[in-house]
Amino acid sequence: MYVIVVGAGKVGYYLSKRLMNEGHEVLLMEKDRRRAAMLVEELGDVVMQGDGCEIRVMSEAGFGRADTIVAVTGDDEDNLVVCQMAKRQFSVPRTIARVNNPINEDLFSKLGIDTSVSSTALIYNMIDQQIEPGQIIPIGALRKGNIEIVTINISENSPVLGRPVKDIGLPDRALIISIIRDENALLPQGDTRFMPGDSVIALVSTQDESSLRSVFTEAG
């Protein structure tokens, strides 16, 4: 796969190295001349100095044959424009943007970016997970159809404890795909029963998220 990474900060740098190790063809683009020159010394031809929003630079970098564009600069506006221009002018099949302000995650998907990743939101969710067990933690989203992948930790007081999956009254648009128990991932059947300490992984439509929550959280 040919992947162009725009922005050679720490995220872009480590991401590019990882992709290269996995055998992908990578181009790492950096606007800042000093930073680019420094990285050329280490990574060689993989690094290109230039502004990833400039059409001339984009053609030169081969946006036209790229499979994926990843924009990970520290500025949301630049990441947005890189991805939008890649889609519009070069019909790049997949665009991924880093968002620094979590509120922009929604905006970016509205504006045609295939995937956006907010480290702020990810870290926040992890903190949230530690302080409030029993709550539904989003771990991913399918852009089409408003489906979320969530995880729920089963506490000692959960009303589903000891009950089989088929009897807990899951909302229509929710599906339990796995139960993590003692480091093992189980593929639950209708008669699989919940135990304290289980982590449930489920797909749920955003509309049904609150009904799913009430199924798993202590009554009252």
Chain residues that interact with another protein, rule: CB under 8 A:
53-55, 75-78, 80-81, 84-85, 88-89, 101, 103-104, 107, 110-111
**Distance in Å, CB of 81 to another protein, minimum:** 4
**Distance in Å, CB of 90 to another protein, minimum:** 11
208/210 Cα distance (integer angstroms): 6
**Distance in Å, CB of 4 to another protein, minimum:** 17
**Distance in Å, CB of 165 to another protein, minimum:** 40
DSSP letter string, 150-209 = EEEEPPTT-TTBT-BGGGS---TTEEEEEEEETTEEE---TT-BB-TT-EEEEEEEGGGH
CB nearer to another protein: pick between 54 and 60: 54
**Distance in Å, CB of 82 to another protein, minimum:** 9
CB nearer to another protein: pick between 86 and 174: 86
CB nearer to another protein: pick between 79 and 151: 79
Q: List the beta bridge partners of residue 179.
A: 186, 200
Residues 6 or more apart in contact with residue 85 via CB below 8 angstroms: 53, 55, 58
**Distance in Å, CB of 71 to another protein, minimum:** 11
189/210 Cα distance (integer angstroms): 23
4/107 Cα distance (integer angstroms): 23
Tokens in use for 213? 């929550």
Amino acid letter for position 157: N
CB nearer to another protein: pick between 84 and 158: 84
Amino acid letter for position 110: K
Tokens in use for 19? 């992709």
CB nearer to another protein: pick between 101 and 214: 101
